[in-house]
Amino acid sequence: MKKADVVQFFARLAEDNPHPETELEYVNAFTLLVAVVLSAQMTDAGVNKATRRLFAQADTPEKMLALGEDALKEHLKTINFYNTKARNVLALSRALIEQHGSEIPADRALLEALPGVGRKTANVVLNCAFGRETFAVDTHIFRVCNRTRLAPGKTPLAVELKLEKAVPEPFRLHAHHWLILHGRYTCKARTPECWRCPVADLCPFKPKTPPPEARKVRSKQAA
């Protein structure tokens, strides 16, 4: 995608949603970290449903450890792989207390050294908790960047590195939120809603998906 098109791409997404935010619910940097760890192979809505009561009881590493494994698993039983994730949450809580004075480190390498924390999780925390210009490439961003040719790549890391080079100011801080939300609600995996996409004319994806009304007409004609 040309530089001018990239500017237009983000300018239009920003116009639709000037102040995008993560849809994960959290009360502080610690609960944000926990929520992102739990979100692997889960929807944000599913994570929020499980964590509302949890974060009301345990919003610090100390409180999370005091809760204990059995009680934590009870909170997380609707989360995919909740047994492993519960152990990781307790282990990272212990590591935060012992190694970081219960504070969330504002450093990618230190975050990735915590149990259950990968690059994507670290990038989300750095962006949302510390205002860093990071690009957390999930399945939505990976799809959007390849489909639109904004930052095509064969791996999430490849896409992330291309986004680092491609995204200009003043869009860098919120870019990954715009891309996630665009992929989640418009540029969907199976049936992208191209008829209402604000950047459809900048996207080379073909064929463009027609609006529902047009699809109904075609279906009747075929019958």
CATH of the domain at 85: 1.10.340.30
pLDDT tops 70 at residue 106: yes
At 119-165, the pLDDT tens digits run 999 999 999 999 999 999 999 999 999 999 999 999 999 999 999 99
Asked, for residue 116, whether it belongs to a domain, the answer is yes
pLDDT value of residue 220: 45
Provide the residue range defining the domain that includes 34. 29-130
User: Residues 40-49: what's their mean pLDDT?
Assistant: 93
pLDDT tier for residue 221 given thresholds of 50, 70 and 90: very low
- Is there a contact between 75 and 116 (Cβ–Cβ < 8 Å)? no
User: Residues 29-55: what's their mean pLDDT?
Assistant: 95
pLDDT tier for residue 98 given thresholds of 50, 70 and 90: very high
pLDDT tier for residue 223 given thresholds of 50, 70 and 90: very low
User: How far is it, in rounded angstroms, from Cα 191 to Cα 203?
Assistant: 15
Asked, for residue 160, whether it belongs to a domain, the answer is no
Q: Which of 88, 79, 72, 154 is nearest to 121 (CA)?
A: 88
At 153-198, the pLDDT tens digits run 999 999 999 999 999 999 999 999 999 999 999 999 989 999 999 9
Q: Residue 152 has what DSSP assignment? A: -
Please indicate whether residue 49 is annotated as part of the active site.
no
Asked, for residue 73, whether it belongs to a domain, the answer is yes
Asked, for residue 55, whether it belongs to a domain, the answer is yes
The catalytically annotated residue of 59, 63, 77, 138 is 138
Question: What amino acid occupies position 11?
Answer: A
Domain count, the chain: 1
pLDDT value of residue 213: 67
Please indicate whether residue 138 is annotated as part of the active site.
yes
As a whole number, the mean pLDDT across the chain is: 92
pLDDT tops 90 at residue 10: yes
CA angle 150/156/158 to nearest 5° reads 65
pLDDT tops 90 at residue 214: no
User: How far is it, in rounded angstroms, from Cα 148 to Cα 201?
Assistant: 10
**pTM of the predicted structure, to 2 decimals:** 0.89
The catalytically annotated residue of 44, 63, 120, 165 is 120
187 is known to lie in a ligand binding site: yes
